[in-house]
Chains A and B, each alone.
Chain A
């Protein structure tokens, strides 16, 4: 992706004309306007033509609403369960990794969304090392990309199956993180962007939620776990300000729903109980809207950038170094294509 630093000459409106109903009769031409900023429009058009990819992984115990949340986020049935209509939910004996891709289009913008599900995680009696298959999958995607990249005759656009973001579902106990949560996030935050969320948050009162979040943030800090947005990747002051606000709010307490109800004359996504209707997109009820904005509306590109420029690069460097016995740069041809980086 191009990274342009466009110097601002000074604020100049685009050339006026009768279309804009302006008062000036003669066209205004500013000699100090070159038109470099028009590149943004060119980029936008190209991006729209090409479309883009987004790969989201969801991790958490069975029944925490992962599939429902994905459907709610993208307002369509994108989860594995919606596609494969299995009669009953059975907990698999080992962890499986299942990817489902969908093409989504909105206002002419096309996105290939891949949701990667991890059924079986944390559901067994003995969950030791349950993070391993997930770690392996993530590294495998880096490997696939690397192999294509170092190819002599490589594709113009390398298909990107790398996991851009891993949403980790924390059960709403209201107390603190469990050893399994800490174990998973500690290891995986080193290779992928982790976005922790409090699942099924409609079981916590606002007080309980605040207390829980505080405990979680404390424990993440105490264990040196860097979740997205990571402090060390803030690019400038503006970034830092925006991201700091987000860091003070995570993990987002979310509620998902793919059912609509009539509330005050409007049709809203929600959950109807005997004591009231929980409106999913109402920020007074839950923080789903914040999660959606983060993942889709404001930080989607950033999430992809960090994956490719930091996580993937780290993998690449380690991988190239492990083949490098004599020191110095090696030819990509010497890279052993059959081995993936060993799990640490």
Chain B
């Protein structure tokens, strides 16, 4: 066990987090607050004119974080343009395409010959930002979460929670939980803790579960509050402290995402969402094979929506590898057949 642990620590962990939601909900600020980074320093904010013709993009930022000898390769996938247009029909498509591409890449890698250094770029968690201004889920929220529930761990958050009073937050959370239930949306569920865990851990676990969806606030600025320097937001009427559990659920989110459930998120991604994808693929392939009765490549070729040159070259290389493998297989089958005769 210890050897395994040491090896993993040496190798480091990787984690891919996606953030989705309309512009101006504090996604970038929250990510920076969570990981104490400044990933979006020089980003350009588009004005309304430019946004009219903007489509939903997928952007990636990778950062290596090290803390107490443990290395984490963190990838943040952002979805600028989501939900910003006048007509947002199918604005989720670039997002699902991206998630599928990562699954497909992993599928190919897993089925390939050299599996020693497979990179896991699959999206392990998607933080979905719900505006605090509404009365509950909006049509775009319901559609997005329903489409993504089977592809990634969806963790809905209440964004910019400092515009809500404590009673408003309570009501809003209840409303959201009700609607998520009613619409049958499968969001990420915290696993139940083992019965042999200590009472403190169980209590913490209970509190975590009861405060979902988390109401979050982010900040990259340090302010002076109660004689201490804390991360917060300075208003004329008071100071919001990001890490104060009485002010918002930021700490709970950080605990859940990084400190206690990161591994579970990866596991569920691997055991559920990826398996769903893989099963679907193989099914599609099998039905195609039955239809054609031809020997097809064991790796499915799904249509990629926007393959860039780099990806295309990678695909070509993999295809070559597979063709060689296929030839080898055929030769082996031939030999076996001859032996049987």
The residues of A with any CB-CB pair to B shorter than 8 Å are 61-65, 88-89, 91, 123-128, 171-183, 199-200, 202-203, 205-206, 215, 218-219, 222-223, 271-279, 284-285
Contact = CB atoms under 8 A, between A and B. Distances in A.
B134 A200 contact: no
Contacts of A171: 24, 131, 133
User: Top 3 nearest A-B pairs by Cβ distance?
Assistant: A173-B24, A276-B238, A203-B163
- Contact residues of A: prevailing secondary structure: loop
B133 A63 contact: yes
A85 to B, nearest CB: 15
B45 interface: yes
Contacts, number: 126
A179 B85 contact: yes
Given A205-B233, A273-B237, 12 more contacts: A123-B138, A126-B86, A127-B86, A175-B24, A177-B47, A181-B48, A182-B52, A202-B163, A203-B132, A218-B47, A274-B166, A275-B235
A126 B233 CA distance: 34
B236 A284 contact: yes
Contacts of B52: 179, 182
B235 A202 contact: yes
Contacts of B162: 202-203, 273, 275
Given A172-B163, A173-B23, A182-B48, A275 B238 contact: yes
B134 A63 contact: yes
Contacts of B91: 125
Given A274-B166, A284-B236, A178 B87 contact: no
Interface string B162-192: 1101100000000000000000000000000
B48 A219 contact: yes
13 contacts: A63-B133, A123-B139, A125-B87, A171-B133, A172-B24, A173-B22, A175-B23, A203-B132, A203-B160, A205-B235, A219-B49, A275-B235, A279-B237
Contacts of B139: 91, 123-125
A179 B86 CA distance: 6
B86 A180 contact: yes
B23 A182 contact: no
A173 B238 CA distance: 20
Contacts of B22: 173
A178 B86 CA distance: 8
Given A205-B235, A219-B48, A274 B246 contact: yes
